[in-house]
């Protein structure tokens, strides 16, 4: 199935397109630490509840947010999450796999670890 998302549709444009295509549980995932010289690569995945009330105003790539805005988004994500997971890949594994492979692996692991934290009403 193919769907088109307009460039100006915003962050939730992809989600709306996936819902129109029949998907109901949609995860978002991101990583931090990919450009670091030392320390782990960390990836997280989350499934937010459905509907406009589950959306988070101002949510975007964490590198584009101030520290204070990241904290506000974190609190709101945790309050609205239907499921979430975090994975850390240690530097040794990043060195062995290479950063691109380690990044994709971390994102996949985070998505695969998603477990529902609340039931739908």
Q: pLDDT for 99-116, tens place per residue? A: 999 999 999 999 999 975
Q: Which range of residues forms the domain containing residue 85?
A: 7-112
How many Å apart are CA 108 and CA 114, to the nearest integer? 10
In a domain, 2, yes or no: no
Q: pLDDT at residue 98 above 80?
A: yes
With respect to residue 119, please indicate whether it lies within any of the assigned structural domains: no
Residue 2 binned pLDDT confidence (cut-offs 50, 70, 90): low
The count of structural domains within the chain is 1
Mean predicted confidence (pLDDT) in 75-85 = 93
Q: What is the rounded distance in angstroms from the CA atom of residue 38 to the CA atom of residue 40?
A: 7
CA distance 25 to 120: 12
Q: Please give the Cα distance from 117 to 121 (Å, whole number).
A: 13
- The CATH number of residue 39's host domain is 3.30.420.10
Q: How far is CA 55 from the centre of its chain?
A: 13
- Average pLDDT of the chain is 84
The per-residue pLDDT for 121 is: 38
Is 80 among the domain residues? yes
Q: Which residues pair with 85 in a beta bridge?
A: 45
Name the percent of the chain lying above pLDDT 70: 88
pLDDT at 29 over 70: yes
Q: What is the mean pLDDT of residues 54-82?
A: 88
Report if residue 118 sits inside a domain.
no
pLDDT at 120 over 60: no
Average pLDDT (75-98) is 93
What is d(CA 29, CA 21) in angstroms, rounded to the nearest whole number? 20
Secondary structure letter of residue 8 according to DSSP: G
């Amino acid at each position: 199935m193919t769907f088109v998302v307009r460039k100006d549709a915003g962050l939730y444009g992809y989600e709306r397109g996936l819902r129109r295509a029949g998907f109901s549980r949609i995860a978002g995932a991101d990583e931090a630490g990919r450009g670091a010289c030392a320390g782990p690569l960390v990836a997280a995945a989350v499934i937010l509840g459905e509907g406009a009330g589950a959306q988070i105003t101002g949510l975007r790539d964490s590198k584009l947010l101030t520290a204070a805005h990241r904290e506000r988004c974190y609190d709101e994500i945790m309050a609205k999450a239907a499921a979430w997971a975090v994975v850390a890949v240690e530097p040794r594994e990043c060195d062995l796999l290479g950063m691109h492979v380690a990044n994709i692996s971390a994102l996949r692991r985070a998505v695969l670890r998603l477990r529902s934290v609340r039931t739908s009403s």
